[in-house]
Structure 1
Amino acid sequence: MSAVKLRELAHSRTGDKGDTSNISVIAFRPQDYPRLLEQLTAERVAEHFREWLSPDAGVVRRYELPKVNALNFVLPGILKGGVTRSLALDAHGKALGAALLDIEIVDGP
């Protein structure tokens, strides 16, 4: 089996509210959406960002948007205070979408 980077199958958009970031992953082609549903779980996203997530901030949640072939992930606490309270270079978390697109997705069934 071979694998491809998620960025070959989808693009992302991010948003923020306080110290919470949301990352939407939108499949380029509808036929790739089932593969994303299967392989891009909330647990896998949490593992991918484990170094940045605070253990006491809450769990990563996944919302499915099948009519637009998208997934939305909510990552509480990842922005370490958010725009007004963080000295982080990327206080809005815009780079998180690009980081998520580095996950490998397995080709085929």
Structure 2
Amino acid sequence: MKLRELAHGRTGDKGNTLNVSVICFDEAHYAYLREVLTPERVKAHFGDVIKGDVLRYELPLLGAFNFVLGQALGGGVTRSLALDAHGKSMSSALLDLELNS
């Protein structure tokens, strides 16, 4: 099962730091995602794209998580040659995470 079956996401950026929020469709899935959607798993999913730390902030009353990914945008919007310098597609990429692996 893909993460996108249980949640949707939003992305924002600040310099070379990327925020990816994962919001559960149903609050009943929050505990499960809290268990399986660890910072280590998120970093591993993105591979070499994320050069820095990944921090997870839990928002249980919203049924959401906010992941802060350091050194994730190739130096930041004004310095990166990446096609998606703002990292807007990263939430979609995270939602492609296979949860049953």
Q: Is the TM-score greater than 0.5? A: yes
Provide the rounded CA distance (Å) in 2 between the counterparts of 1:32 and 1:48: 20
- CA shift at 1:53, angstroms? 1.7
- TM-score, normalising length from structure 1? 0.88
Q: Runs in 1 of length 4+ with deviation above 6 angstroms?
A: none
The question of 1:78 aligning with 2:38 is answered no
- 3-state SS of the aligned residue for 2:61? helix
Query: Which ranges of structure 2 fall in alignment gaps of 5 or more residues?
Result: none
The question of 1:87 aligning with 2:81 is answered yes
The question of 1:8 aligning with 2:2 is answered no
Aligned residue pairs total 100
- CA shift at 1:33, angstroms? 0.7
- 3-state SS of the aligned residue for 1:98? helix
- TM-score, normalising length from structure 2? 0.95
